[in-house]
Structure 1
């Protein structure tokens, strides 16, 4: 199975989750490539059996220019473009198997979900959504909550099944 994981990470938490998911997928024999959305070429998923997209949740959804500036002011290292911009360039994905994940500071009604926003956009591209998961961070800058990396690895292994 050939897997492409495209991420946006401002404080490194989403990147850590992507690494754990990749480890889980590799444990099941998958060939996994992890790339940053800002450095990835125009979206291409030729030969990819599973496309995973991950981002931090900002303002109840995907990061944008304003929330990236806020992250930078808090010590993060956001990029000028991320998953939202990458998705704008994505061609139709009819039947492509995809999954989404995000990192979320806090649980509850008001936290929103970048993963859900990504999923919604992928469905517009006619993709087949195989899963969506949120991973908890202890605050804006993190760290990830206890057990979240292990949970991410297990989720990755399950996606390979």
Structure 2
């Protein structure tokens, strides 16, 4: 199986109508969407997701923000998808993100930086398992697969 990553369009991205734009960037890159849902996360889910930051002063704000509205949760699959997605997303601080990246083009403030992406295989596995049941992930083969990657 190819590598998978978890991507979430945060409430600011959903409210600003950026879902289609962001989905399109991942599709044009050639990655395969295997899981997609819109959900307003519970506090418990948010606290688990951001658990690594629990002792940080910004933890409560992260949890409040991610639970403030709908999130579009996704699982993308493809060779090198974790590292490539991080490049597509751009730096955490939008003002440091390169033009052409999602954050460089669409975000202005670190507290409203539009999107989250897993940063490592272990993180991706944890986040996918947290946000999705196995039955919600679809293993399928795009008809243009031979044009995406070498066999």
TM-score, scaled to structure 1 = 0.29
Structure of larger gyration radius: 2
| Structure with more relative contact order (C-alpha pairs < 8 Å, separation 6 or more) | 2
Higher strand share: 1
Q: TM-score normalized by structure 2?
A: 0.30
Q: Which has the higher helix share?
A: 2
